[in-house]
């Protein structure tokens, strides 16, 4: 069993597991942090961005002023933003049989994998994962396509040139493999390969392994996966949460008894408490509004935003924000809000109960109904005429490189009355803000990451007791910036097996048994005999049929009755066909009982001689020797085949056959 690691990002994993005869890709995460190296894509012409100076190396030998722009001491690529894809050279991606998706954040690279690599398999995901994943992809495509950029910068990627660039561009890895965003057509084609599954549904893959998604508690429809055969079990844990937010709680007990547990997607903010962050979010929001400023919340269109809106729903009245408009701007804002209300099965118990009433599970329905929350597909159109300040705007993309958020950065960045509150943990806020410097607006960083922290995960592992744990190498040491915090890493016995991008791990795993089915006819013909109290054995001679990785044992077909031939005389001379070898024997032949049996069969003249290891029996009338020992019997008998076979059968009476 092998694990190929195609992504080095611990929360956006992409691993391939070879297990029995199947090749299973676990998640398909797209590392979007690469876009931080690019200039933002403004929705309307930005004089500031267009006036940024081009970059020329200090000695003047390298002139990339068309491709690279300088802003506040940092260099950015002036081109359509590009993403860092999972590794595609480590193994032939066309051999992948299935892709298992654990949540909608971990599927963004799907079109790159399923299209143009020869992939012919099936993708498994839950319905919310598929629907919301589709929305997020649609949004990404929309963000990119509505501000097309003619220029595609490639010169800076030249190894010789990249070496001379200032950091962090200089240190960016595999820049040649970075790709532009996919098209909607590719998204549709990729998603048409998705097969929907429900929690605890058991899906057979080629009869060889069974996969089953389990609730992971992190987002709508998010799942961990069990990949198992009758005798081996691999658990894949990705993006799980034990906090009570909107999704169904995490199913922990089904992870028990795993031979291998692959652990990814722990919190990216191990020191930030989500509840505390939520409180800070609210108080900063209220403070800014009261002071007459606007609040900008760069966020994804699904996920934590539902919790933020729910929190605000309770907070608005008490903070007397009743008249402040809340805007949610995204091409998929409406769809995201609508979809969140129809997945009752995938929600926590409290929200399910509301649906039984029947009431919408999320209170943002009421915020919309009372006009407190308004959603728009973009800043163009209705929004521009209805927009009132001061207000709160939720919009994407959290990288601040594309989407409507770019517009608000340009609009509000100059005033210190305004505040930007970062809630998504995926991007460093300093890097995100870099191309907007110098900036007057206030910045508040309250990343809300509900995924498991190190304390929770060690408790979980203690409970589910996997034999081996595999995890990204980042989890095996404290974070670089807090190297003294040994509590911010995984400490396990035996230590976890770390992986990094491009690792190939041999998982320590010995398969010893496989399932076969004994057909009823054969089963009925078996003769079990008790060999020890409670243990019976039966010898089995059967024909093995293997089809679609399922093995069955059938009775040996009886040979067709030999046709009566004239050669009957010669039959004896035909050598025996290689058939059933005789079973192995076990036990010992007791002397007294054996002698008695011989007597019964008319063999009376027996001389018994004691030896070091047993006895030698002389059958004097027959001139035959039988040597009886603890672990062997030797019959020496000349020229008397009938006697030999009689003696053989008498000895066999005392032995067990296996």
| For other proteins, the closer CB: 60 or 557 | 557
Q: Which residues contact 15 (CB under 8 A, 6 or more apart)?
A: 3, 4, 5, 6, 7, 25, 26, 27, 262, 264, 499
| For other proteins, the closer CB: 91 or 542 | 542
* Contact between 523 and other proteins per CB under 8 A: yes
* Number of shown-chain residues binding other proteins (CB under 8 A): 95
Residues 286-305 within binding reach of other proteins (CB under 8 A): none
Can you say whether residue 211 is alpha, beta or left, with left for phi > 0 and alpha for psi between -120 and 50 degrees? beta
CA dihedral of 87, 93, 97, 98, whole degrees rounded to 10: 30
Q: What is the 3-state secondary structure (H, E, C) of 319-383?
A: CCCCCCCEEEECCCHHHHHHHHCCCHHHECHHHHHHHCCCCCCCCHHHHHHCCCEEEECCCCCHH
* Contact between 334 and other proteins per CB under 8 A: yes
x/- track of binding to other proteins for residues 554-593 (CB under 8 A): --xx--------------xx-xx-xxxxxxxxxxxx----
x/- track of binding to other proteins for residues 537-556 (CB under 8 A): xxxxxxxxxx----xxx--x
Q: Where are the alpha helices (DSSP H) in 35-192?
A: 47-50, 110-114, 127-145, 159-164, 184-191
| 8 A C-beta contact, residue 182 and residue 189 | no
- Choose, by CB under 8 A, the member of 182, 343, 412, 422 that binds other proteins: 343
* Contact between 634 and other proteins per CB under 8 A: yes
Residue 69, beta-bridge partner list: 54, 76
* Contact between 339 and other proteins per CB under 8 A: yes
Separation of alpha carbons 658 and 651, rounded Å = 15
Stretch that binds other proteins, among 107-115, 136-144, 377-385, 639-647 (CB under 8 A): 639-647
CB of 630 to other proteins, least distance (A): 8
Q: What is the 3-state secondary structure (H, E, C) of 70-104?
A: EECCEEEECCCCCEECCCCCCCCHHHCCEEECCCH
* Contact between 487 and other proteins per CB under 8 A: no
Stretch that binds other proteins, among 140-148, 380-388, 445-453, 522-530 (CB under 8 A): 522-530
Separation of alpha carbons 588 and 630, rounded Å = 6
* Contact between 524 and other proteins per CB under 8 A: yes
Residues 420-449 within binding reach of other proteins (CB under 8 A): none
CB of 523 to other proteins, least distance (A): 5
Q: Where are the alpha helices (DSSP H) in 146-232?
A: 159-164, 184-191
| For other proteins, the closer CB: 480 or 577 | 577
Q: What is the 3-state secondary structure (H, E, C) of 420-439?
A: EEECCCCCCHHHHHHHHCCC
Tell me the HSE value of 455 on the side-chain side, using a 13 A CA sphere. 7
| For other proteins, the closer CB: 478 or 583 | 583
CB of 586 to other proteins, least distance (A): 4
CB of 130 to other proteins, least distance (A): 12
Candidates 433, 405, 407; CA nearest to 139 is 405
373-376 β-sheet, strand order: 373-376, 326-329, 392-395, 295-298, 419-422, 442-445
| 8 A C-beta contact, residue 112 and residue 182 | yes
Separation of alpha carbons 552 and 521, rounded Å = 12
| 8 A C-beta contact, residue 545 and residue 533 | no
| For other proteins, the closer CB: 414 or 644 | 644
| For other proteins, the closer CB: 290 or 634 | 634
| For other proteins, the closer CB: 485 or 601 | 601
CB of 655 to other proteins, least distance (A): 5
* Contact between 622 and other proteins per CB under 8 A: no
Residues 124-163 within binding reach of other proteins (CB under 8 A): 127
CB of 601 to other proteins, least distance (A): 18
- Choose, by CB under 8 A, the member of 21, 57, 437, 536 that binds other proteins: 536
Residues 176-215 within binding reach of other proteins (CB under 8 A): 197-202, 212
CB of 611 to other proteins, least distance (A): 16
| 8 A C-beta contact, residue 13 and residue 54 | no
CB of 498 to other proteins, least distance (A): 29
Instruction: Give residue for tokens 């030896």.
Output: 611
x/- track of binding to other proteins for residues 20-49 (CB under 8 A): ------------------------------
CB of 361 to other proteins, least distance (A): 8
Q: How far is CA 91 from the centre of its chain?
A: 18
* Contact between 122 and other proteins per CB under 8 A: no
- Choose, by CB under 8 A, the member of 345, 431, 487, 622 that binds other proteins: 345
Residues 208-247 within binding reach of other proteins (CB under 8 A): 212, 230-231
* Contact between 645 and other proteins per CB under 8 A: yes
* Contact between 514 and other proteins per CB under 8 A: yes
* C-alpha angle 401-417-337 in degrees, rounded to nearest 5: 50
x/- track of binding to other proteins for residues 350-379 (CB under 8 A): --x--xx-xxxx------------------
CB of 185 to other proteins, least distance (A): 18
| For other proteins, the closer CB: 438 or 575 | 575
């Amino acid at each position: 069993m092998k694990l190929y690691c195609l992504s080095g990002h611990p929360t956006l994993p992409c691993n391939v597991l070879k297990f029995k005869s199947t090749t299973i890709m676990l998640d398909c995460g797209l590392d979007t942090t690469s876009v931080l190296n690019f200039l933002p894509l403004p929705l309307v012409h930005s004089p500031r961005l267009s006036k940024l100076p081009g970059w020329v190396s200090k000695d003047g030998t390298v002139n990339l002023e068309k491709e690279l722009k300088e802003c506040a001491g940092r260099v950015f690529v002036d081109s359509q933003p590009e993403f860092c894809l999972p590794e595609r050279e480590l193994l032939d991606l066309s051999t992948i049989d299935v892709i298992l998706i654990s949540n909608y954040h971990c599927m963004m690279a799907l079109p790159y994998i399923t299209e143009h690599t020869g992939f012919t398999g099936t993708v498994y995901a839950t319905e919310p994962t598929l629907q919301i994943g589709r929305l997020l992809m649609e949004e990404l495509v929309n963000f990119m396509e509505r501000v097309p950029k003619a220029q595609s910068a490639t010169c800076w990627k030249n190894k010789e040139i990249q070496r001379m660039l200032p950091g962090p561009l200089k240190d960016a890895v595999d820049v040649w493999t970075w790709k532009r965003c996919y098209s909607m057509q590719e998204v549709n084609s990729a998603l048409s390969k998705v097969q929907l599954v429900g929690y605890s549904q058991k899906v057979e893959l080629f009869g060889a392994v069974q996969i089953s998604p389990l609730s992971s508690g992190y987002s709508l429809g998010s799942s961990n996966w069990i990949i198992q055969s009758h005798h081996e079990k691999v658990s894949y844990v990705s993006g799980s949460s034990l906090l009570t937010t909107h999704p169904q709680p995490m199913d922990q007990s089904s992870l028990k008894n795993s031979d291998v547990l692959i652990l990814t997607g722990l919190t990216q903010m191990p020191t930030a408490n989500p509840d505390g962050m939520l409180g800070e979010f609210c108080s900063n929001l209220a403070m800014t509004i009261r002071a007459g400023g606007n609040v900008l919340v760069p966020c994804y269109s699904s996920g934590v935003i539902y919790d933020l809106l729910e929190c605000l729903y309770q907070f608005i009245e008490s903070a007397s924000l009743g008249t402040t408009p809340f805007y949610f701007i995204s091409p998929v804002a409406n769809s995201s809000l609508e979809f969140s209300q129809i997945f009752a099965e995938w929600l926590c118990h409290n929200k399910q109960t509301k649906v039984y009433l029947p009431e919408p599970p999320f209170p943002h329905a009421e915020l919309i109904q009372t006009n407190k929350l308004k959603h728009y597909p973009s800043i163009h159109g209705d929004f521009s005429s209805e927009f009132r300040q001061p207000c709160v705007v939720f919009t994407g993309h959290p990288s601040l490189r594309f989407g409507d958020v770019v517009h608000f950065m340009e609009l509000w960045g100059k005033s210190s009355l305004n505040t930007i509150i970062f809630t998504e943990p995926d991007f460093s806020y300093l890097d995100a803000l870099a191309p907007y410097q110098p900036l007057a607006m206030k910045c508040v960083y309250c990343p809300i990451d509900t995924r498991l922290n190190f304390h929770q995960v060690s408790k979980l592992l203690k409970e589910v007791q996997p034999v081996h744990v595999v995890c990204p190498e980042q989890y095996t040491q404290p974070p670089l910036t807090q190297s003294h915090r040994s509590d911010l890493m995984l400490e396990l016995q035996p230590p976890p097996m770390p992986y990094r991008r491009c690792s190939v791990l041999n998982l320590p795993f010995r398969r010893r048994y496989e399932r076969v089915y004994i057909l009823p006819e054969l089963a009925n013909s078996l003769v079990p005999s008790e060999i020890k109290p409670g243990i019976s054995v039966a010898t089995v001679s059967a024909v093995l049929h293997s089809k679609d990785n399922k093995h069955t044992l059938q009775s040996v077909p009886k040979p067709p009755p030999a046709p009566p031939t004239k050669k009957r005389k010669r039959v004896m001379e035909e050598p025996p066909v290689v058939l059933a070898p005789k079973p192995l024997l076990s036990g010992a032949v007791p002397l007294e009982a054996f002698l008695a049996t011989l007597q019964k069969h008319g063999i009376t003249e027996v001389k018994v001689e004691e030896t070091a290891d047993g006895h030698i029996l002389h059958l004097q009338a027959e001139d035959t020797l039988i040597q009886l020992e603890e672990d062997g019997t030797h019959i020496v008998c000349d020229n008397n085949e009938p006697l030999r076979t009689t003696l053989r059968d008498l000895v066999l009476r005392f032995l067990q056959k296996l």
